[in-house]
Amino acid sequence: MPPSAAYPRTVLIVTQYFWPEPSAPSVRYAAIIRTLRSLGVSVHVITGVPSYPSGRVAKGYRPIGFQAEDHEGAHIQRFPLLPYGGANKWLRLLNHGSLATTSMFGALRGVRCDLVIAESPPLPLAISGIAHARRAGVPLVLYVADKWPDVAIEMGALHEGWVAARLRDMESFAYRSAWRIAVPTDGLFARLAAHRDAGPAKTTLLPNGVDPAVFHPMDASDPEATRALGDLAGRALFMYAGTIGQAQALATIVDAAALVRDDPTIGFALVGDGPERARLEERARALGLDNIRFVGAVPPDRVAAYLAFARATIAPLRDVALFVATRPAKVLPSLACARPVIFCGRGEMAAFIEREGCGIAVAPEDPAALAAAIRRLAADEAGARAMGERGRAWAVREFDFGAIVRRWWDALSAALPPRARGT
């Protein structure tokens, strides 16, 4: 189907995290690509060799050299990066900077396109997106999932100093260079609208969403998930599915598991991988816990099969001010699968969950509060099921990713200069 004259004919996406990696950007760009392809828009993707979150290069890929492939109608160019899945901040910065550097070669060769969409964080990759947009002479849309370096500083992963100052310079340059900036939450919109290099006219809202056709209620019968969960599959299972990193405060789940270990009907499963996994497994061993299992990462399209075994899911966050404006993407698949969410955090998502009656919101980093919520849902299967049904209805009504992307894309395209619309 040829694209409408109202839309760009070809779009280039620059992102570090992409299929087949289990990440929020992977889900986001899958929805964007499906929507754009349905409108006849050609999509090119510049990304790295998949290695997130484990830091190990995925099977079937080479750690070095340029690689190209096609997936769901998008042409993907993969550039080498320094794989890293640990917690060392300097190696993490090298991981971020390595793809920003190697992907510049794509800008030197040039990719013919009408619009560039670049993801931040990692912040250095925004510079690569700027280079691609300038090389092609087209507008840049910068998607800002988190405000760096502020988030890293609030979490204690980075301290004020020369590095933070240079990252802020990079942040300001990226905002100035973007034609539009997209953000996932109202709180982040307010912060960027107040930034002197962004502003309200440049900032747009592209909320996280979910594909209800991929994430939907299923029977708890998948053989692979049954084997992975073992004897915990028959318990009232409380599950976390996502990256096991510093931002998630997952020690709260381990400590809550210790508080409810007296109840043999309750179990816990962490489905995912990341830099904090080894530390959390050691913590669980030190506490002598036999009611918790670390499953490892599964592909995004397999998560629903695991969620089918959950009484509820847990979405914990660190207790930092910036996360008040966060809507964790991992909440939406759980709701779409009709599973209530215990949200350990404050702000927008906590208010939404309480208002819609699709879960329980508790204070962040409070194992006792989490344990109380777990005991409540473990003792009330019917109540948990009703919460899950309300969550599914809310997710389908408000967070269908295809509909969200289409509304955003129509508004964005209408504001583009004629040349970027291929006219």
Q: What does the pLDDT look like over 300-324, one tens digit per residue?
A: 889 999 999 999 999 998 887 777 7
Q: What is the pLDDT of residue 4?
A: 53
Q: Are 95 and 83 in contact (CB under 8 A)?
A: yes
Query: Which residues have a Cβ under 8 Å from the Cβ of 70 and sit 6 or more positions away?
Result: 76
pLDDT at 419: 67
**Per-residue model confidence (pLDDT) at position 318:** 87
CB-based contact 304:209 (threshold 8 Å): no
Tokens coding 320: 């930092």
Note the pLDDT of residue 187.
85
- Retrieve residue 102's tokens: 């190697």
Q: What is the pLDDT of residue 43?
A: 96
pLDDT given for residue 421 in this prediction: 60
| pLDDT at res. 52 | 86
By DSSP bridging, strand 203-205 and strand 180-183 are parallel
Query: Which DSSP string do the residues of 324-340 spell out, in sequence order?
Result: GG---TTHHHHHHTT--
Q: Which tokens hold the place of 77?
A: 């160019």
Alpha-carbon distances of 61 from 58, 69, 101, 346, 390, rounded to whole Å:
6, 11, 20, 40, 41
pLDDT value of position 243? 87
Whether pTM > 0.85 for this model: the answer is yes
Q: Which of 269, 219, 228, 212 is nearest to 27 (CA)?
A: 212
Residue 261 CA to residue 107 CA, distance in Å, equals 55
Write down all domains in the chain, each with its CATH number in brackets. Answer: 10-209+400-421 (3.40.50.2000), 223-398 (3.40.50.2000)
> pLDDT means per 10 residues in the chain (423 residues)?
66 94 88 92 94 87 90 94 78 86 78 92 93 93 91 80 90 96 91 92 93 92 94 94 85 97 96 90 96 92 94 92 78 96 92 94 96 98 97 94 93 82 55
H helical segments located in 210-347: 223-229, 251-259, 277-286, 303-307, 331-336
